[in-house]
Amino acid sequence: MTGSSSDPLNFQPHVRNKPKRKALGERLKDPKDKLKLAIVRDMWLTGFDAPVLHTLYIDKPMKGHNLMQAIARVNRVYKDKEGSLIVDYIGIVTELKKALSVYTDNGGKGAPTFDQEEAASVMMSKYEILAQMFKEQPTDKSQPKGFDYNSFFTLSPKQKLYFPIQAANYILGLESGKDRFINAVTALSKSFAISVPHPYTLEIRDEVGLFQAIKVRIVKVTESAKTGKTDEEIETAIKQILSDAIVSDEVVDIFDAAGIKKPDISILSDEFLAEIKGMQHKNLAFELLKKLLNDEIKSRRKTNLVQSKKFSEMLDQVVRNYQNNLITSAEIIEEMIRLAKEIKEADRKGEGLGLDFREFAFYSALEVNDSAVSILGNDVLRHIARELVDTVARTQA
């Protein structure tokens, strides 16, 4: 079984590393070996080619491409093997019919057909799109043009750990780089999975793994946690196929992905903001700070809608200035740090006025009217805010 050092001790005797799993795979392919049965969860369901296999026992839900790929493990031609046997324990007939209808040319009738050459051609076109992205000029003209992703394969293991961070920083500096890269890697992964074992897949499998590792860094830094089942299944399939452990199974913290220490204190602390400012990879710093500020602002919606709206508009304006090339990547970091400090100062203001978060929410709403502040003054507004909180509390009682 696969595993890691974080698994329970009683798992460890059964955990096998990659070379040992490969050796087991070779044994299973040998009809003379005593190993006749393998219980699998994800690995070997895709991309594992052992023509000698003839029986598949299914006890997990599968559908679509994954189901067809699993069945394909036992339908390979081998010497005098007359056929294959599928033992269905959970009832996959409906899903099998749906999968067959997708893989046939005549509405689900006849034998499944699949043009692997066409899939490989699509795969290579997506690969070329990704390779070309690393030759583009970043939107910030002060940044150098081009990034040699192939240098990854000449690095030491320690250097390889940080390489995807550098590559992600470059991609994020391109025009619409994030969306274009993520979409292209997803498309490449799909076409790669169904192209195995075409010779082209052997040529680019290491690059595919690297592109996926870069995608992981970008997604972790820029997006909230939301893993779609389809993408997860594709990534699992690719991990089974790739020869080198470029794609990590470990959980990637967004701070690790950006190459900085996870703060033990508020992300709006001076110490943390100073570390963000000092980050070498400014595009990653921008994306990380934008995500964190967005989360901070959203968290205020339930307690102070006025302030949340104000800071959201300020953040949107700063981001637009950057996207329109009105400010550089270094300047956008400065602007966002100033906004972070203003958010922090707003929290202190309520404390300084002696108001709790409910009272300060009303105070903020009253404060929007400049004439109210100049005519009534802080003391009167503070009193009104407290009265409003008391009134609401009595109404709800």
Mean pLDDT of 239-268: 44
Say which amino acid occupies 266: S
387 confidence band (pLDDT: 50, 70, 90): confident
Q: What pLDDT, on a 0 to 100 scale, did the predictor assign at position 249?
A: 39
Placement of tokens 């594992």 in the chain:
48
367 confidence band (pLDDT: 50, 70, 90): low
358 confidence band (pLDDT: 50, 70, 90): confident
Q: What pLDDT, on a 0 to 100 scale, did the predictor assign at position 254?
A: 44
pLDDT digit string, tens, across residues 175-227 = 999 999 999 999 998 888 778 778 888 889 889 989 988 998 888 777 654 44
Q: What pLDDT, on a 0 to 100 scale, did the predictor assign at position 151?
A: 92
Q: What is the 3-state secondary structure (H, E, C) of the chain?
A: CCCCCCCCHHHHHHCCCHHHHHHHHHHHHCCCCCCCCCCCCCCCCCCCCCCCCCEEEECCCCCHHHHHHHHCCCCCCCCCCCCCEEEECCCCHHHHHHHHHHCCCCCCCCCCCCCHHHHHHHHHHHHHHHHHHCCCCCCCCCCCCCCCHHHHHHCCHHHHHHHHHHHHHHHHCCCCHHHHHHHHHHHHHHHHHHHCCCHHHHHHHHHHHHHHHHHHHHHHHHCCCCCCHHHHHHHHHHHHHCCCCCCCCCCCCHHHHHCCCCCCCCCCCHHHHHHHHCCCCHHHHHHHHHHHHHHHHHHCCCCCHHHHHHHHHHHHHHHHHHHCCCCCHHHHHHHHHHHHHHHHHHHHHHHHCCCCHHHHHHHHHHHCCHHHHHHHHHHHHHHHHHHHHHHHHHHHC
| pLDDT over threshold 90, residue 134 | yes
Q: In angstroms, rounded to a whole number, what is the distance separating the alpha carbons of residues 290 and 332?
A: 10
Compute CA distances 301 → 7, 361, 369, whole Å: 40, 10, 20
113 confidence band (pLDDT: 50, 70, 90): very low
Mean pLDDT of 349-369: 69
- CB contact at 8 A, 45 and 66: yes
| pLDDT over threshold 50, residue 263 | no
| pLDDT over threshold 60, residue 247 | no
Q: Where are the domains of the chain?
A: 9-102, 116-258, 262-345, 353-397
How many C-beta atoms surround the C-beta of residue 135 within 10 A? 10
Q: What pLDDT, on a 0 to 100 scale, did the predictor assign at position 302?
A: 74
How high is the mean pLDDT of the chain? Answer: 75
Name which residue leads in pLDDT, 226 or 91.
91
Q: What pLDDT, on a 0 to 100 scale, did the predictor assign at position 178?
A: 92
Residue whose C-alpha is closest to residue 168's, from 207, 124, 134: 134
Q: In angstroms, rounded to a whole number, what is the distance separating the alpha carbons of residues 250 and 7?
A: 12
Name which residue leads in pLDDT, 249 or 320.
320
Range in 35-49, 259-273, 309-323 the model is least confident about: 259-273
Q: In angstroms, rounded to a whole number, what is the distance separating the alpha carbons of residues 397 and 388?
A: 14
First to last CA, the chain: 59
Which of 73-77, 231-235, 375-379: highest mean pLDDT? Answer: 73-77
pLDDT digit string, tens, across residues 57-87 = 888 888 887 787 788 888 777 776 766 788 8
How many C-beta atoms surround the C-beta of residue 213 within 10 A? 22
Name which residue leads in pLDDT, 131 or 107.
131
Q: Which pTM does this prediction carry?
A: 0.47
| pLDDT over threshold 90, residue 174 | yes
Phi, psi of 85 (to 5 degrees): -125, 125
332 confidence band (pLDDT: 50, 70, 90): confident
